[in-house]
Structure 1
Amino acid sequence: MKANEYLLGCINCHPISNSTKSQATDRFVQVAHKIHGDKGYLYNLGSSNFICPSHGPQTLGNLRNHLSSITPCSVCDSLRLRDRYISQANKSNKGLTNIYFVSFTSKTSSESFFKVGLCFGSLEDRFKDWLVHYDITPIVFSTGNAADIYDLEQKIHQRIKEKQLSYTPMNAYNFGGASECFLASEECINKLKSYIINKTT
């Protein structure tokens, strides 16, 4: 049953609120049960949360996004993406993937930043669209079991967010993965380099 069957009306007359601070209404609960009923989520009228049977209370956020999401629970969604990536690695890359830690330097300005991410192929293939604007210098490039490498990357990204180091490149609109870029001191870079090497060798 497709979510769009229940997302009625244009952006102005849509029966479900588009606010990011919405509370569950009777109409929303009815539609949510029709769309996500097989997931066992629990909703309470007037609440800004819902209950995932596996991961407990979760924030509703934008109600329309909740209805159109495959897995509205953030933990369930993270696990779904992880499983999908590992499955792809098993099918096309013998269960392996690469983790990279690279620096970017603009070819036209003083902009510079760093990125940690995953790829199945070479850095040249991964960043072919970036090379027009940036010189790219590898700091670490390691290959390993996809599940272990995926978890390592996620842990690093979480740490970067916690430290509030995230950075949006000037040309971010052109590049996939631009939201994973960050700024850091030389000391932090050296520690991260050692951490990745220790975890992948």
Structure 2
Amino acid sequence: MHAVRRESRDVDVVDAFVDLQQPDIADVVQQTQGRRIVVPLTLWHDDATAREVHGLASGDADVTVTAPIGPDWVLAELGVRRLIEAGARPTDTIVLAGGPADSERAVRDIGKAARLLSAVWGGRVHVGTTYGGLGSPLAEAIDIARAYQRRVVVSMYALTAPATVRGIGDLGADVVTGPLLAPGATDPTVVSLILARAAARGSWVPVGRDPARGA
């Protein structure tokens, strides 16, 4: 977030968290005044995060919640960069590892991320989710990829390395990429993506509403 703060000229940037980390987003909203824009740094729609931030927005007309930062072409391009760095070849079978998916909307978002990665990579991308939940389990997706009798490369769809990254190799993948953001590094394209979400000021669709169906 330091990089976002450096590049932001029109607004103050304040860190906040939805989980057990501090400062808690509810406290930050209460302790600040005026127009506030919440940008969820999630790569797909997450119901738990949506309930938390929309609860804050519903109680304060000056609070706006943007769309999450993913899926997006910027992240797909980063994913391909990580594939190349990991030594992926055009003949490999690629599996995007996302998750956890706690709703059908999350499954659709992760599926879209796989399609965007496929378009940039130029080849088919399978998709699996970790940590349980909805969607095809990653282990199952890797098994299906194995049927092509090629090397299986897992593309980590995460900003930073999740706790399960070491166990993914045990599922049968030949290669596992690094997360989208290299440890200790920032990427100007991700910074621009975050700032673009803030500038758009568009709200998430309320929890339980399917944007594809309009209700």
- When the two structures are superposed, what TM-score results if normalisation uses the length of structure 2? 0.26
Between structures 1 and 2, the one with greater strand share: 1
Q: Which has the higher contact order (CA 8 A, sep 6+)?
A: 2
- When the two structures are superposed, what TM-score results if normalisation uses the length of structure 1? 0.27
Q: Over alpha carbons, which structure has the higher Rg?
A: 1
